[in-house]
Structure 1
Amino acid sequence: MNNKNIMIYGAYGYTGELIARQAVAQGFRPILAGRNAQKLQPLADALNLPAMAIDLDTAEILERSLQDIYLVIHCAGPFSTTAEPMMRACLNSRTHYQDITGEIDVYEAAQRLDGAAKTAGIVLCPGTGFDVIPTDCLAAALHNALPSATHLTLGFDSDSKLSPGTAKTSIESLGIGGAIRRNGKIETIGHGQLTRRIDFGRGDKFAVAIPWGDISTAYHSTGIQNIEAYIPMSPARAKKLKHLNGFRWLLRSRWLQNWLKSKVGRSVQGPTEELRAGQKTWVWGEVRNDRRGERKVGRVTTANGYDVTVSGSLSVMQYLLDYRGEGGYFTPSKLCGPKLVESLPGSSAIDIKIA
């Protein structure tokens, strides 16, 4: 077993705990870390692992805590607040960084740190979970199948419940709107503004564009200039979502954000192991070159998104434990290759067809 020190930060959150428990099951002994010692210690005791209570607000203390850490799996949201301090601390301590975010702004921040990561010789790879391993790998495979593609559309269909952390991230997006990439630039659009019908893998469904992480990552993985991402949604719910556009100014307010997140904290729990075991995810993608009239469609089926996040994070971790390449910002497919998703438990092979 590799003896390089691994830290799981935010280990007592829903997904952080799943990753910590599976890491132990695979024979690893990560250091568990987070901001709240009282929440952290019971898990550390249960798993017989070392624990460190570390606040992200003091850069000097954080960097000192990472001096002997080879790699951090960052699981503490909201990543819009926590990711950049941890990434900068990893740069200064020369610690590889990965996280489980799905937030576009975090990916773009990591990409802006590419030069610094190259200089430090460390990898920055945000999004090593369901956000965005399956869609990122499918995007890369589709681009390989149609290198001249000018447009990429991605999406997924799942019955999974949200964890508290994912629900809180969704609340943050309410005041911002949707997102697409047009001619290489990320553009904000209204909630429910773009719709289409898609067969994700279990029948044709009405779908709505969402600000999924691939609006950032798929561009860096493929270079395709025009990108959209979709999930299925009933037309009635899409209409309600569209009505929120007139209140985005209010939904951005700190007091309302805090109130909504407090309700999530009291009422939302992630899916049980039994529920996750019975839920698959259907991932779909399309590339096209309108000038040439070429179009290809790809699909891959995965396990429940949270199980993908656990297995994906640990797969990338194991890849980095033996890493000998250069530093920099990487998407999962750029770091580990498009077949990464196929190697995860519960995943099918990527299937691409001419449409």
Structure 2
Amino acid sequence: MANRFLLYGATGYSGRLIAAEAARRWGNRTKTHRPCELVLASRDRRALAELAEDLQLDYRAFSLDHRESVVRALNGFDVLINAAGPFDQTAERLAKSALDAGCHYVDINGEVDVYKRLDDLHYFAQSRGLALVCGAGHTATLSDLMLDTALHDLQGNGLADELGIARIAVARMKYLSRGSARTMMRMVREQVTVARGVPDSKSPRLVLSHAPVGKLERSFDFGGGEPKHGSGLRIASAANLIDTLTARHTAERRKVRLERIESYIEMPTTMRLAYHAAAVGAVGYQLPILRELTRWQIDMLPEGPDAKERADNSHRVVLQIEDRYRQLVVDWCIVTGDPYELTARLALAVARKVAEAESPGGWLTPADVLGLWQPLIDQGLDSPLMGCRTERRSKAVAHT
């Protein structure tokens, strides 16, 4: 019997890409035997019906206003995939409803505050044998897979007991969707989240702390530099990315002690100045009139890159890990195609793995579900990482 998935937020920009990828990969209702069945859902019945007709997929229209009706709508599905932003308005409602309905939950959220709230549902999910996977989109999944693979390699080389700081750096995207712009605005705070090891402890436990915006800035080699200029070194500022939180879970699962985990976004000078100014005014941004003005400006942006722009929207994510002597033992860069198309493939891959797994459930990171990097690449055309490649510029070498 085919696994059944419900995609909420199907009429949004990322939702449409996920729906189209599912129809391409698994087939639609014209196909007699499907390995998986995707049903579309959102609150906009008219747009949903048009999309369902175009893709030849079934659909259900419902709002999130009444939890009992949401639970009824989720009955009979194996996994709920949430692509409906803003996630601070949908994620917690849908995750709790999924737990009540007895189905797993996967989303593509990128907001730290939402991630922390869902993380608190771990014991409820685990007691019911259900999985919760937050941030199964582009950068958080890639950085998690990279970190998990790097820590696995370091353990194999006997270096896992000598680690210092892990840094994740995300290159600036050439084209942004409207939803990504909203997420970036919501992540602006006066401080950024950092995970720190417990001082004078051998425990792998990491606690969350904060650093002022602008205090943590570094240059990373994102690659793609001009031959005559050498490397692709560019400046990045620490930011509130859920990659920090996902990496924290993965390091603790691997039982590897790190001094600190930090996440960065590449920013040119003008963007850094605007970022610092926005952080200073972050409290004022909470005023309704300013929030509405920002929302109005973002709504004027295109919904997202079109097919031609996506074909030219490659991206890079860097992982650096230092040893306790501040020497790089890992300096890897993932080069991908369009982040939005990659998010669609990753979200479906995570959802299918969750449905087929026999794990006890609870809070899982994408790497918990998907496993190590190389086996995923080896799947070829069936791989969600199709077209991605890793530049390993530093290899772990034991000290002599």
Q: TM-score range by the shorter chain?
A: over 0.9
Q: Is the 8 A contact 1:298 1:350 kept in 2?
A: yes
Q: Does 1:288 align with 2:287?
A: no
Give the total of aligned pairs. 354
User: How much does 1:101 deviate?
Assistant: 0.8
Any stretches of 5+ residues in structure 2 without a counterpart? 28-36, 155-159, 198-205, 225-231, 253-257, 378-382
- Report matched runs for 1:107-126 at 5 Å: 107-126=115-134
Q: Could you tell me which of 163, 167, 170 is aligned with 2:181?
A: 167
Higher-Rg member (1/2): 2
Give the match for residue 324 of structure 1. Answer: 358
Specify the code of the residue in structure 1 equivalent to 2:220.
Answer: I
Inter-partner Cα distance in structure 1 for 2:304 and 2:237: 24
What letter matches 2:60 in structure 1? M
Q: State the alpha-carbon separation in 1 of the partners of residues 214 and 286 from structure 2.
A: 18
Question: Does 1:245 find its partner at 2:258?
Answer: no
One of 185, 205, 209 as aligned partner of 2:234: 205
- Partner in structure 2 of residue 17 of structure 1: 16
1:190 Cα offset (Å):
3.5
SS of equivalent residue, structure 2 residue 263 = strand
Residue among 296, 299, 302 paired with 2:333? 299
Shift of residue 243 of structure 1? Answer: 2.2
Using the size of structure 2 for normalisation, the TM-score is 0.83
Q: Residue 24 of structure 2 aligns to which amino acid in structure 1?
A: A
CA distance 1:236–1:48, change in 2 (3 Å): closer
Equivalent position SS for 1:283: strand
* Alpha-carbon distance in 1 for matches of 2:164, 2:99: 34
Deviation at 1:134, TM superposition (A): 0.7
Q: Give the distance between the partners of 2:85 and 2:64, measured in 1 at CA.
A: 12
- The answer as to whether partners of 2:139 and 2:170 remain within 8 angstroms in 1 is no
Question: Is the Cα–Cα contact under 8 Å of residues 176 and 252 in structure 1 kept in the other structure?
Answer: no
8 A contact 1:191–1:244 mirrored in 2: no
How far has the Cα of 1:257 moved from its partner?
Answer: 1.7
Contact 1:142–1:297 under 8 Å retained in 2? no
Q: Percent identity?
A: 27
SS of 2:333's partner is: strand
CA-CA distance at 1:293 after TM superposition: 5.4
TM-score normalised by length of structure 1: 0.92
Correspondence 1:143 to 2:151? yes
Give 1:212 shift: 1.1
Map Cα deviations across residues 183-217 of structure 1 (whole Å, 9 max, x no partner). Answer: 32323444333211110223111111111111111
Which runs of no fewer than 5 residues in structure 1 stay unpaired? none
Of 19, 28, 31, the match for 2:39 = 31
Tell me, in whole angstroms, the C-alpha distance in 2 between the residues paired with 1:120 and 1:182: 31
Q: 2:78 aligns with which of 65, 70, 74?
A: 70
Aligned mates of 1:209, 1:341 — CA distance in 2: 29
From 191, 196, 203, the counterpart of 2:213: 191
**Matched letter for residue 24 of structure 1:** A
Q: Do 2:104 and 2:355's aligned partners in 1 also have CA atoms closer than 8 Å? A: no
Corresponding residue number in structure 1 for 2:270: 236
SS class of match (1:180): strand
- Residue 142 of structure 1 contacts residue 352 of structure 1 at CA under 8 Å; is this kept in 2? no
Which letter maps to 2:168?
A: L
Distance, in Å, in 2 between the alignment partners of 1:175 and 1:108 is 16
* Rounded Cα–Cα distance in structure 2 between residues aligned with 1:85 and 1:352: 43
Q: Which piece of structure 1 moves more, 321-330 or 210-219?
A: 321-330
AA aligned opposite 1:124: L
| 8 Å Cα contact 1:201-1:283 kept in structure 2 | no
Aligned CA-pair RMSD: 2.1
**Which residue identity lines up with residue 153 of structure 1 in the other structure?**
R
* Residue identity matched to 2:77: I
Within 2, Cα distance between the matches of 1:274 and 1:71? Answer: 32
Counterpart AA for 1:50: D
2:2 aligned residue: 3
Distance 1:352 1:327 in 2: 36
Q: Which residue of 2 aligns with 1:262?
A: 296
Give distance in 1, aligned partners of 2:109 and 2:70: 20
Q: Distance in 2 between matches of 1:194 and 1:119?
A: 39
Q: Give distance in 2, aligned partners of 1:300 and 1:245.
A: 29
SS in 2 for 1:117: helix
User: Which position in structure 2 is the counterpart of 1:153?
Assistant: 167
Does the 8 Å contact 2:164/2:326 carry over to 1? no
- State the 1:117 CA deviation: 1.0
**2:369 counterpart (293, 313, 335):** 335
The residue that corresponds to 2:392 in the other structure is: 351
- Measure how far apart 1:175 and its partner are: 4.7
